[in-house]
Structure 1
């Protein structure tokens, strides 16, 4: 009886989900077709292009009277933009809704749109999650360490990330924790907030991460140590150790993290797994100190700043310019 009831509930749940997806995709295709017809009508001659806005306004007045507010001038204009951004109907995902696409068509870069579309589909992002990733400038932050083609290929699952630098973000944006930037708090407050919002934190970490442990104890002979947070990344097939620091990190902090990574590599990881990654999640850092403390060809230790608010576009541009300047300085030193 119990198993039968559970099976029936599963069938009903899956059927309802499937029906909802079908309705949502049909709605998306409807807006695409509307956009196509408007664009094709505009392209018939210069005169039509001139009165494009008036045409949409007049069409909207008639359609709203017949079918309601879903056909407002704003939605018709969005339909037009939708078709121009995605002119090939087969490129549309049945997993994404019209509301997802309204977020995507705001992006004026085709590569960026393709990246977020692939990520949203692959990770089953809600509209709210998609908006957060766009607003936190995920695409731009990933580009700090790799080229556009690589980012897009990984997002579309054409390639798997092979280097930790392809997944570790700097900075990490943790506005969802609800901590005030000016407030006084301790490392355990940050850790507790992360655990409370673990789903959002995993989303910020990126693809393939799963939570393993907090305050993981290590016993090295008579000494005891604790790693703040332990994750595993199935794409890279390795452990990822996070150490939280509320202040500017020092070379001693990096040395301690190196010890944790060495311990995991020698005592915990299996032969088929890749070398452990260590990440210092800190409030501030000196990039030069990090660079000179770590081995020249380091691929295991990373220092990533966290911020408790979404960055503005100006802040991101400043970070990119700072990063590029740091790379140029390092090249000149070499």
Structure 2
């Protein structure tokens, strides 16, 4: 019996896209976690603002307490970064799920708000990877546009340099693995990452409350006599 071979390719694409989406959901939750940590640190600093060295002491103390428990994502440098993240993006509703934490870290290096908003808009519009965003920042795309009389040509060149966005670049970040509770290893079985991601998705869905139901981590489904296992069942 002849089978349309495109169906296999289509299903593979669906599977890959779903995996990419799951990774991005978890990474966005990580980004929100860093924002809330930064907010809490800033609020605590305001309580002790009469002591000039309180902020420095607080961050050092937090690092000493948290790094042994949660890894290098809570070094003094990283905790300072979370505070800076909150100070620059004070409205949590301005955070974009399309941007990864690694891209936000690049954006934090930009002091000019208009320049930063330009790179945010271009990253979302062109689906830039972390490397692509980094390349455009360090090649001074924003400044070149301001100086150019032919802005469309400058943007066209940048667009032609675009690389396909790949969620796998997110999971290469050691802090992403720490967020999932995984140790830094050269490689992981797909099931290890899958289970860790599903665990975080389950917690996220349960927090949404009414309207969502987490059925099972793996649900058996019968369709016309065939048996399938669907992971992370949600209704």
Q: Deviations over 1:217-274 (max 9, x none)?
A: xxxxxxxxxxxxxxxxxxxxxxxxxxxxxxxxxxxxxxxxxxxxxxxxxxxxxxxxxx
TM-superposed deviation, 1:204: 6.8
Residue correspondence of structure 1 range 158-173 to structure 2 within 5 A = 165-169=150-154
In structure 1, distance between residues paired with 2:51 and 2:129: 38
Contact between 2:136 and 2:158, CA under 8 Å: does it hold in 1?
Answer: no
CA shift in 2, pair 1:48/1:29, >3 Å: farther
Q: Deviations over 1:193-225 (max 9, x none)?
A: xxxxxxxxxx77134x69xxxxxxxxxxxxxxx
Equivalence for 1:41: 44
Contact between 2:48 and 2:54, CA under 8 Å: does it hold in 1?
Answer: no
In structure 2, distance between residues paired with 1:57 and 1:45: 15
Query: Number of residues paired by the alignment?
Result: 158
User: Which protein has the larger Cα radius of gyration, Structure 1 or Structure 2?
Assistant: 1
Contact between 2:107 and 2:116, CA under 8 Å: does it hold in 1?
Answer: yes
Q: Deviations over 1:56-97 (max 9, x none)?
A: 111011111111111111111011111111111111111111
CA shift in 2, pair 1:204/1:4, >3 Å: closer
Equivalence for 1:8: 11
In structure 1, distance between residues paired with 2:121 and 2:52: 33
Secondary structure, in 3 states, of the residue corresponding to 1:167? helix
Q: Deviations over 1:96-124 (max 9, x none)?
A: 11111111011111111111111111111
Q: Deviations over 1:272-299 (max 9, x none)?
A: xxxxxxxxxxxxxxxxxxxxxxxxxxxx
Equivalence for 1:241: none
In structure 1, distance between residues paired with 2:51 and 2:30: 27
Q: Which residue, out of 133, 136, 152, partners 1:133?
A: 136
In structure 1, distance between residues paired with 2:32 and 2:59: 19
TM-score, length-scaled by structure 2: 0.62
Secondary structure, in 3 states, of the residue corresponding to 1:125? coil
Contact between 1:42 and 1:49, CA under 8 Å: does it hold in 2?
Answer: no
After superposing on structure 2, the runs of 4+ consecutive aligned residues of structure 1 that deviate more than 4 Å are none
In structure 2, distance between residues paired with 1:52 and 1:43: 9
More strand by share: 1
Unaligned runs of 5+ in 2: 162-235
In structure 1, distance between residues paired with 2:85 and 2:49: 22
In structure 1, distance between residues paired with 2:9 and 2:27: 27
- The answer to whether 1:111 aligns with 2:111 is no
Equivalence for 2:145: 142
TM-score, length-scaled by structure 1: 0.45
Unaligned runs of 5+ in 1: 147-164, 170-202, 211-334
CA shift in 2, pair 1:5/1:116, >3 Å: same
CA shift in 2, pair 1:51/1:204, >3 Å: farther
> Aligned-pair RMSD on alpha carbons?
2.0
TM-superposed deviation, 1:49: 5.3
In structure 2, distance between residues paired with 1:112 and 1:3: 44
More helix by share: 2
